[in-house]
Amino acid sequence: MRNIIVFMFALLVMAGFYSKSSAHCEVPCGIYDDEMRIHMIKEDILTIEKAIQKIKELSAKKNKTPKDYNQLVRWIDTKEKHAKRIQEIAWQYFLTQRVKPVDAHHHQNTETYLQKVTLLHQMLFYAMKAKQNVDTKYTDILREVLEKFEKAYFGKAHIEEHHHH
């Protein structure tokens, strides 16, 4: 029953976020670069943090000029785009294509599957919170969740090996 609930939740999440995405096509081409997607999310988090910093600076400025308002709008738009890109990579790339549903008869994979799906859902949620706010606590949480997902997805040995190079 728990697997069915998780599967239905994943379907609802995917349906709710369905839009044209450039994260990766759904043609089974076999050209995947999971590590690059993780790196892209890390860059998106950094960009959101920079946008938050600039939004705060421009908002605090007295006697704003039209150029200041223009820049403020552009930084807000940048923050939105990068948060949305995190969501697209999480659902379109990882949830849809890379994290495979587990067979109900093979319970040994269920816990890992549930962990990955939960972490991806958290990424979706905190990317949404980053859109709604100008508080870097959400990017801090995103970074922590991404690190946990990276370990769950690749395995601890893979992470340690790649962090030493």
Q: What is the DSSP string of 105-148?
A: T-GGGHHHHHHHHHHHHHHHHHHHHHHH---THHHHHHHHHHHH
**Residues ≥6 apart with Cβ < 8 Å to 151:** 159
Structural domain of 68: 34-163
> How far is CA 2 from its chain centroid?
24
Residue range 47-60: average pLDDT? 98
Alpha carbon 54 to its chain's center? 22
Distances (CA, A) of 162 to 35, 150, 158, 159, 165: 10, 11, 6, 5, 5
- Return the minimum-mean-pLDDT range out of 10-19, 74-83, 85-94: 10-19
Q: Is 11 part of a structural domain of the chain? A: no
Q: Is residue 18 part of a domain?
A: no
Alpha-carbon distance of 29 to 106, in angstroms, equals 27
Q: Is residue 40 part of a domain?
A: yes
For residues 14 and 58, which has the higher predicted lDDT (pLDDT)? Answer: 58
Q: Is residue 91 part of a domain?
A: yes
**Which residue has 């659902």 as its token pair?**
91
Q: Is the per-residue pLDDT at 72 higher than 80?
A: yes
Separation CA 85–CA 43 (nearest Å): 11
Number of domains the chain is built from: 1
Is residue 100 in a domain? yes
pLDDT for the residue 6:
47
CA distance 112 to 133: 31
pTM: 0.79
In a domain, 145, yes or no: yes
**20 lies in a domain?**
no
| Average pLDDT over all residues of the chain | 85
The number of beta carbons lying within 10 Å of the beta carbon of residue 4 is 9
Answer yes or no: is 6 within a domain. no
Q: How many CB atoms lie within 10 A of CB 156?
A: 10
Q: Beta-carbon neighbour count of residue 158 at 10 Å?
A: 13
